[in-house]
Each structure stands twice: as C-alpha cells, then as structure tokens.
Structure 1
Amino acid sequence: MTWADFWALIGTLNGEATQASCARLAEELSRRPVHDIIGFAERHAEALYRLDQEKFGTLPVTDLSDRDGRPFPQSADQFLYTRCAVVAAGRAVWESVFFDVDRFAPYTSTSYDGEWLLYVPDQAHELATGEEWDRTTRYCFETFSNTDGWPHLRN
C-alpha cells in the first residue's frame, strides 16, 4: 500500500479515531484484498513508530495536573493512543508535528484518544476472512520501540 492510499483511507476517519469512524474504516478496508489490509497495518505501524520520539512522549497531558498543580506526564499507553490520534488527524497534521512539537501537544489532551485505530487492521482482516489475525509488522509501534527517537534510553 502506498502512503497516498494509506492517508486516503485515514481521511475516512474525518480527523478522529472514534469507535464508529474506525468501524467504518475497518469495513472499507475489509472490502479490499488481504494484502491491502496488511499494507495498511504496515503503514500504520510505521507512522506510529516515527512518532515514537522523546520530544513528543515527554510532553505532559494538556488538561491534567497532579495535586500540586504540576504537569501530569503521559503514560506509555496514553502516548501510544495520542500518536494514534495524531495519525487519525490526517497526513497534514502528522507531517507538521515533526517540524513543530507544539502541533503535537493538543493531542495529549484526554479529549483525544486514538486507541480504536489500533484495532482497524485486525477487524478488517476478520471481516474479510472470518479469521482472527495474529499479525506482526516490520515496525513495532509500542512506546520506546524507536530507539533513535529516545537516544538517552540506548545502551
């Protein structure tokens, strides 16, 4: 799957990875050949992997603070869901954050949650084949996987 095809499919989310919009995307993707579902999963994993960087992961949650009023850090899971929300926002947003970290910051808000986007390839595969898919992708999208993005964590 080309990046253009991936971003066109992401565009069907209308900027947000809600349960309903992700179900529509999975349905749309399920009508394509299985290799397109795999291609979508690969592009999605790579898009998330590229966002897995310290400059984004160390941003605080914008609308939370601790009891002392200090910024509340993103958890590893929240950072993953935030990266999904950035991808769901579309290509222009995704590309812009690499040049301006302040464009990433709003997506750390608890009002954004892109978790549903993680399940789209699995749902599409099951709809297309009737079978569960235990997939792996070239890029791991879990937080801290991109060692180049977290240089101080390298051994």
Structure 2
Amino acid sequence: MTWADFWTLIDTLNGEADEASCRRLAEELRNRPVPEIIGFADRHAEALYRLDQEKFGVLPVVNMTDRIGSPSPQSADHFLYTRCAVVAAGRAAWEDVFFDVDKFVPFTSTQYDGEWLLHVPGQAYELATGQAWDRSTRYCFETFSNKDGWPHLQN
C-alpha cells in the first residue's frame, strides 16, 4: 500500500479515532484484497514507529498534574494512544509534528485517545477472512521500539 493510499483511508476517520470512525475504516478495508489490509497495517505501524521519539514521549499530558502539581508524564500506553491520535488527525498533522514539536502537544491531552485505531487492521482482516489477525508488521509500534528515536536508551 502506498503512503497516499494509506492517508486517503485515514481521512475516512475525519480526524478522530473513536469507535465509530474506526469501525467505518475497518468496514472500508474489509472490501479490499487481504494484501491491502496487511499493507495498511504495515503503514500504520510505520507511522507510529516514526513518531516513537523521545522529543514527543517526554512531553507531559496537557492539563494534568500529579498530587503535588507537577506536570504528569505520559505513560507508555498514553504515548502510544497519543501517536495514534496524531495519525488519525491526518497526513498534514502527522508531518507537521516532525517540524514543530509544539504541534504534538495538544494530542497529549486526555481528550485525544487513538486506541481504537490500533484495532482496525485486525477488525478488517477478521471481517474479510473470518479469521483472527495473527500477523506481525514490519515495524513494532510499541513505545521505545524506535531505538533511533530514543538515543539515550541505546547501549
């Protein structure tokens, strides 16, 4: 799947990865050949992997503080869901954050949660084939998997 095709599909989310929009995207994907569903999963994983960088991951959660009033850091899961929200916002938003870290900041708010987007490839695959998704993608999208994005973690 080309990046252009991937972003066209992402546009069906209308900028939000809520349950309804992600279900709509899975329904759209189910009508495509299985290699395209797999290609979507690979592009999605790569988009998340590229965002897996310290400069984004160390940003605190917007409008959230701990008990003593210090900014609350993102957990690994929150950072993954935030990255999904950035992808769901579309190509322009995704590209913009690489050039201006401040454009990533609003997505750390708890009002943005892109977790549903993680389930789209599996849902689409199951709808298309009747079988459970049991595949790995070329890129791991879990937080801290992009070693180049977290240079201080390298040994």
Measured against the shorter chain, the TM-score band is over 0.9
Can you give the 5+ residue segments of structure 1 that lack an aligned partner in the other structure? none
| TM-score, reference length from structure 1 | 0.99
- Give 1:133 shift: 1.1
- Per-residue CA distance 1:39-85 (angstroms, 9 max, x = gap): 00000000000000000000000021011111000000000000000
2:146 & 2:52 partners in 1: Cα distance? 6
| TM-score, reference length from structure 2 | 0.99
1:89 & 1:32 partners in 2: Cα distance? 23
The SS at the match of 2:13 is coil
Can you give the 5+ residue segments of structure 2 that lack an aligned partner in the other structure? none
- Give 1:36 shift: 0.3
Instruction: Map residues 53-92 of structure 1 onto 2, 5 A cutoff.
Output: 53-92=53-92
Equivalent residue number for residue 132 of structure 1: 132
Equivalent residue number for residue 102 of structure 1: 102
Moved over 2 A (4+): none
Alignment partner of 1:150 is 2:139: no
- Give 1:150 shift: 0.1
The SS at the match of 2:149 is coil
The SS at the match of 2:119 is helix
Alignment partner of 1:21 is 2:8: no
Measured on the aligned residues, the alpha-carbon RMSD in Å equals 0.4
The SS at the match of 2:147 is coil
Query: Which one-letter code corresponds to 1:7 in the other structure?
Result: W
- Give 1:154 shift: 0.2
Aligned length, in residue pairs: 155
Query: Which one-letter code corresponds to 1:91 in the other structure?
Result: R
Alignment partner of 1:39 is 2:47: no
The SS at the match of 1:133 is coil
Equivalent residue number for residue 5 of structure 1: 5
